[in-house]
């Protein structure tokens, strides 16, 4: 059995996978073309088009990340091959910590204190009670559900939203178009953990931003395509004065790395991080990869993604 592996830090991944699947021949983009082509299985993260185009015999693909948007948009993706994605695999807790930091950043006024520091201004703000700081989480997949639970465990009321109805303990769940408007109207921090698909593109547009309460904040560890950037900048306002939207912490962008010319870099109420919220922890991920390949090989039912839905 030949497995094509493609991801950063390839040596560590190759060793960990070889340990779990001792009989497998693991090849990478660095192997000669005749050796790396026509693998039985692909375990890949953002493979180059040319590398994917060589793979004409794949019986299963494991996407080495939670979002399958990049893979589905690759023109060389072989049709009809089942795709399994990583589910949580330790990413949810890391993203949960990122979101926790972001929620506290705004709830405890770190944004305002930073600006005050620049002016050497000593002024304390009354602390908003956590119970009066509802947090909205859009997307209740493996990651969104875990993040929602972490924020709720910290004492914040949490509203979750998904396209179809869901029920999660301790979370007020909303769904569908009406449910989205209902959620937006009552959250002070909005967290985006939806997959990047045609139907979620620019879900955070001018109308959605206008539906948020005055002074709300935004955290996006999900996908850049979820936000209409022009509408975001308009809602944030210019200069030092806070607009309707108080601030945004952004980890994902339509183009990555974020181009140097992007106005997001220097906006005073935007915090940019380089897609670091949820790196894939190797051990849990490789366990899932090995299990998926074992299941493919045994002809067992696998929980594959729906390419039409995009997740």
Residue 67 as a binder of ligand GLV (CB under 6 A): the answer is yes
CA separation for the pair 194, 216 (Å, rounded): 19
Query: Shortest distance, CB of residue 159 to ligand GLV, whole angstroms?
Result: 23
| Residue 105 a catalytic site member | no
The alpha carbon of residue 296 and the mean position of all alpha carbons in its chain are separated, in whole angstroms, by 26
Nearest residue to ligand GLV on Cβ basis = 65
Q: DSSP secondary-structure letter at 38?
A: S
| Residue 223 a catalytic site member | yes
Using CB under 6 A, which of the segments 10-18, 62-70, 128-136, 153-161 binds ligand GLV? 62-70
Contacts of 55 (CB under 8 A, 6+ apart): 4, 37, 38, 39, 42, 78
Query: Shortest distance, CB of residue 146 to ligand GLV, whole angstroms?
Result: 14
Using CB under 6 A, which of the segments 3-11, 30-38, 65-73, 292-300 binds ligand GLV? 65-73
Q: 91 vs 264, which CB is nearer to ligand GLV?
A: 91
DSSP 240-303: TS--SEEEEEE---SSSSPPTT-GGGG-TTEEE--S-SS---HHHHHHHHHHHHHHHHTT----
Q: 67 vs 247, which CB is nearer to ligand GLV?
A: 67
Query: Shortest distance, CB of residue 285 to ligand GLV, whole angstroms?
Result: 9
Torsion on CA atoms 216, 220, 226, 230, rounded to nearest 10: 60
CA separation for the pair 146, 151 (Å, rounded): 9
Residue 66 as a binder of ligand GLV (CB under 6 A): the answer is yes
Give how many residues touch ligand GLV by CB under 6 A. 3
Q: 67 vs 139, which CB is nearer to ligand GLV?
A: 67
Residue 210's φ and ψ, nearest 5 degrees, are: -70, -25
Candidate list 65, 102, 136, 157; residue touching ligand GLV; CB under 6 A = 65
In 10 A of CB 9, how many CB atoms? 10
Query: Shortest distance, CB of residue 66 to ligand GLV, whole angstroms?
Result: 4
Residue 43 as a binder of ligand GLV (CB under 6 A): the answer is no
10-20 and 282-297 are packed helices; what angle lies between their axes, rounded to 10 degrees? 50
Residue 102 as a binder of ligand GLV (CB under 6 A): the answer is no
Q: 211 vs 272, which CB is nearer to ligand GLV?
A: 272
Q: Which two tokens stand for residue 66?
A: 């939670």
Please name the helix (run of DSSP H) or strand (run of DSSP E) that holds residue 231, with its range, or none.
helix 229-236
**CA angle, residues 64, 69, 73, in degrees to nearest 5:** 110
Please name the helix (run of DSSP H) or strand (run of DSSP E) that holds residue 214, with its range, or none.
none
Q: 39 vs 66, which CB is nearer to ligand GLV?
A: 66
- Please identify which of the residues 223, 246, 267, 269 carries the catalytic annotation: 223
Residue 224 as a binder of ligand GLV (CB under 6 A): the answer is no
Query: Shortest distance, CB of residue 284 to ligand GLV, whole angstroms?
Result: 12
Active site members:
223, 275
Binding site for ligand GLV (CB under 6 A): 65-67
């Amino acid at each position: 059995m030949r497995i094509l592996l493609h991801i950063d830090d390839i040596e560590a991944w190759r060793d960990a996978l070889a340990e779990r699947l001792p009989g497998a021949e693991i090849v990478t983009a660095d192997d000669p073309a005749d050796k790396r082509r026509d693998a039985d299985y692909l375990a890949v993260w953002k493979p180059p088009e040319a590398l994917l185009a060589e793979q004409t015999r794949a019986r299963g693909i494991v996407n080495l990340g939670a979002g399958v948007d990049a893979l589905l948009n690759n023109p060389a993706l072989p049709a009809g091959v089942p795709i399994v994605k990583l589910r949580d695999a330790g990413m949810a807790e890391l993203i949960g910590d990122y979101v926790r930091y972001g929620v506290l950043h705004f709830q405890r006024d770190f944004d305002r204190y930073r600006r005050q520091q620049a002016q050497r201004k000593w002024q304390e703000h009354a602390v908003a009670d956590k119970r009066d700081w509802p947090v909205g989480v859009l997307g209740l997949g493996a990651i969104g559900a875990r993040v929602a639970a972490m924020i709720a465990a910290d004492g914040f009321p949490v509203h979750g939203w998904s396209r179809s109805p869901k029920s999660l303990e301790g979370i007020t769940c909303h769904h569908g178009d009406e449910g989205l408007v209902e959620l937006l109207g009552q959250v002070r921090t909005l967290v985006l953990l939806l997959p990047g698909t045609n139907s979620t593109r620019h879900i955070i547009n001018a109308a959605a931003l206008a539906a948020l309460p005055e002074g709300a904040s935004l955290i996006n560890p999900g996908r850049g395509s979820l936000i209409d950037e022009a509408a975001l900048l308009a809602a944030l306002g210019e200069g030092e004065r806070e607009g309707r939207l108080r601030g945004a912490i952004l980890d994902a962008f339509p183009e990555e790395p974020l181009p140097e010319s992007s106005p997001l870099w220097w906006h005073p109420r935007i915090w940019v991080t380089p897609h670091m919220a949820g790196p894939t922890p190797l051990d849990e991920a490789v366990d899932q990869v090995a299990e998926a390949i074992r299941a493919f090989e045994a002809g067992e039912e696998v929980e594959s993604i729906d390419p039409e839905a995009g997740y």
